[in-house]
Amino acid sequence: MLLKPTSIRVWDLPLRLFHWLLLICVAGALISVQIKAMDWHGRFGLAVVGLLAFRLVWGLIGSTHARFWAFAPGPKTLSDYVRGRWHGLGHNPLGALSVFAILGVLAFQSITGLFADDVIAYTGPLRRAVSGDTASQLTGWHMRMEYVIYGLIALHLAAIAFHELIKRERLVKPMITGRRQVEARDARHARGGGWVAFLLAVLIAAGAVWVANGALLSPPPPPPPDLGW
């Protein structure tokens, strides 16, 4: 007997906004660095810091499938997925690993960018908090990690294409609408992540951007007076 499919809520609105805003900001950071628009590169980087801080909080207090412990895969989960025995509504185990990899790499990239200094066009807002040698080392890591980000983007797009075109599993549309077609026996709407949780996550994200922009650093010393010599 075939069960009639039904539409359920899987991805909450804050998670979907995070997803698309992160896409825009990462694309903006990558494009701006290529065209040497370093002021915009820094702005996009700060926006990524705020979005990642939001996602960290939302992964703890958001709705069902946004919470990290709801989709963090273990060995058995991965084994079941590889053997075709996994059933779930949120991120599949390989998708979950991709999420953690992307968030980790972007966190590393945005944090190192805060301390970076290329001596010519860009100085990170927290550059004064570290020595010149440390800033130089962090700048090097920041520049090299760009290629890792390109690789993760390529893998992410390839995985989406595989699921959409080969497995006929819709991934993009649910991330727009928040809803997914499932069999009636799996019809369990996502719960939690209300307005109080959302406002708390936004406030913490705003605080993270405030700190990342150097608000806690002492102001730089004034330039020496021009004696006209």
pLDDT in tens, 115-146: 999 888 899 999 999 999 999 999 999 999 99
Tell me, rounded to whole angstroms, the distance of Cα 207 from its chain centroid.
17
Q: C-alpha distances in angstroms, 105 versus 87, 133, 179, 181, 220? A: 28, 22, 28, 32, 31
First to last CA, the chain: 94
pLDDT at 186: 55
Q: What mean pLDDT, rounded, does the chain reach? A: 89
pLDDT at 2: 47
pLDDT winner (highest mean) among 66-70, 190-194, 198-202: 198-202
pLDDT at 19: 97
The single-letter DSSP state of residue 221 is P
Tell me, rounded to whole angstroms, the distance of Cα 196 from its chain centroid.
22
Domain spans in the chain, listed from the N-terminal domain onward:
11-212
- Whether the predicted model's global pTM rises above the 0.95 cut: no
CATH class as words, domain 11-212: mainly alpha
